[in-house]
Amino acid sequence: MTESYRSAPVVDTSRSPHARLRPVGVDSVKLADGFWAPRLDVNRRRMLPSQYEQCEKTGRLENFARAAGRPELPFHGPVYNDSDVYKWLEAACWTLAGGTDPALVELVEKTAAAITAAQQPDGYLNTAFMYEKAGERWANLRDMHELYCAGHFIQAAVAHCRATGGDKLLATARKLADCICSVFGEGVGKRPGAPGHEEIEMALVELARQTGEERYLEQAEYFINARGKGIIGGSHYHQDHVPFRELNEVTGHAVRALYLACGAADVLAETGDASIAGALHAQWDNFVTRRMYVTGGAGARYEGEAFGKDYELPNERAYAETCAAIASFMWNWRMLLAEGEAKYADCMETALYNGTLSGVSLDGDAYFYQNPLADDGTHRREAWFGTACCPPNVSRTLASLPGYFYGVSPEGLWAHLYASNEAEAELPDGRKIPVVQKTRYPWDGDVELEVNGGGGFGLMLRIPGWCGKGASISVNGKAHRCTVKAGTYAAVKREWKPGDKVRLSLPMPGRLIEAHPHVFENAGRVALARGPLVYCVEEVDNPRLDVRGVGLKDAGGFSAVFEPDVLGGTVVLKGEASVEPAGEDWRNALYREARARRRKSPPVPVELAAVPYYAWANRKACRMQVWLRKS
């Protein structure tokens, strides 16, 4: 059994004619000790094995044995259960891209064989529509998730090919894609159709990139163009109410909407279609300026797991599905590759460190589906779900994470995210540039990059939008003169010599964030942040406080203290706040006539401790707040 695993990037824009950047593959970036390496290790050691066990325990894997010729076996679970196996497989493949693991190799090849055995002679692959239900294939694209499952399988097969170098599973994926292309589209013998849950679009584009087969790109374009004509009911929920090029907001089911944007961004990188670009820009602006949580979360409503109206961002009832934060991360990555603008990397970082990482416990064995921004202690992570999309989605994101740190273009090497790592990037002219990055980010803002390539090229360093003024760059101990502005890439252009060291210093004071006035729930409230991390207050750290009454005046008095024994090692923000109790005059009353405020005594000053939002609910159940009163 082969263990010669290798990899290309998750999204391969190396030959995309309208993409500004191409990423550096996950096998070319080795994360060192620091913030992310332990989390990737937890994913490999605990999350992936336990998720595989859940897929066995819940019958998801047995469904493939049934489809392969065991009709006496029952079908287990919802019609979309196959997708969880596919996401697990993709996660396992990206994990192996960074280093072999014989036990994981065995599970990967066993799962791949079971999937291939379940494929039907015409290429169809979906375990829910076998035997007595074979006549229902493709009959209800809106609700039955056949194309959604197909998309996840295609992405897993591409990952398997890039990680192993083998093409057996890719051949299975091509056969399925050929089946889909033969059924749907315009022209003689084809039928109209579009997926109720988007996913197939970006999968088909990536398959086209992997194989060079133009038909798969054309099929992805067809599915995007087919929407908005009432083909699956015409609802906002399914993004079917207007044609994509006229869609100027993120609406309906949040994950579906953002997956659609991902697929469209992939098509944009291949075609340069200006009308698609315009729609994506309008949707991105609507999302980031009106419908995104401060944590990068997406989706305000439990009803339909959906976006709300502009500025509708409740805290305790926030849905903010983990998969939706991941979808935002994926969309912004594709926009970054297409256009090279730092604002997309900023959004990636926010969604990754906050809205995504909160979706898994620190020990890797429990998960959030929803990620509220306030809680009374009743919302806790679970080991698995009946609809288990989030756990393997977190795993595949973490497993592929090394591939998001760097990019290359004719201008040179781009550093998008910061973590201790060793990387080797190949510039378009063929020069290989080894880089060693050392940092404690996100705990502090000092980043050192040792560049071990020679000759002239640019090193583009992202200056995060959150850092304000004061960022600086030095080369070999001397200040480097270039434009250093928050929310952009600073270009360090020079003739390089092996061993040159670049130091990026990002100021990281605590800061208060306020929401747009139309976010009524946060009127008079502020959130505490430091660097890329949003903080929250849990009563376990503040046992004598009701966090609902805590008020903050400013962030200047807060000190950042690294606590190695708190939440696996974290920077805790400690400082002065105030508490204003509801008061005796509110006892047994919910409403009263408004009157001038009379205060018998000033608010009580207290010492407050805040922890990163991603780490909440890892200790005993208690109240949690992100948004606190503004004193």
Calculate the CA 543 to chain-centre distance.
33
185 in helix, strand or coil? Answer: coil
Torsion angle defined by CA atoms of residues 318, 324, 330 and 331, in that order, rounded to the nearest 10 degrees: -80
| CA distances in angstroms from 112 to 21, 107, 291, listed in the order given | 32, 8, 39
Q: Is 56 a known active-site residue?
A: no
Examine residue 372 and say whether the peptide bond preceding it is cis (omega within 30 degrees of 0).
no
What CA–CA distance (Å, rounded) separates 386 from 197? Answer: 18
Catalytic residue among 305, 321, 339, 411: 305
373 contacts 293 by C-beta, under 8 angstroms: yes
b/e per residue 64-92 (b: at least 16 CB within 10 A): bebbbeeeeeebbbebbbbbbbbbbbbbb
Q: Is 305 a known active-site residue?
A: yes
226 contacts 193 by C-beta, under 8 angstroms: yes
Query: Strands across the sheet with 412-415, in order?
Result: 22-23, 406-409, 412-415, 455-463, 488-496
513 contacts 527 by C-beta, under 8 angstroms: yes
> Is the alpha carbon torsion for 241, 247, 251, 254 positive or negative?
positive
Catalytic residue among 149, 389, 390, 467: 389
What is the token pair recorded at 517? 């006035």
**Distance between terminal CA atoms of the chain?**
64
The secondary structure of residue 333, as a DSSP letter, is: H
Calculate the CA 467 to chain-centre distance.
22
Question: How do beta strands 412-415 and 455-463 pair?
Answer: parallel
Helices (H), 119-251: 146-164, 168-183, 200-211, 214-226
626 contacts 527 by C-beta, under 8 angstroms: yes
User: Looking at the annotation, which residues are catalytic?
Assistant: 305, 389
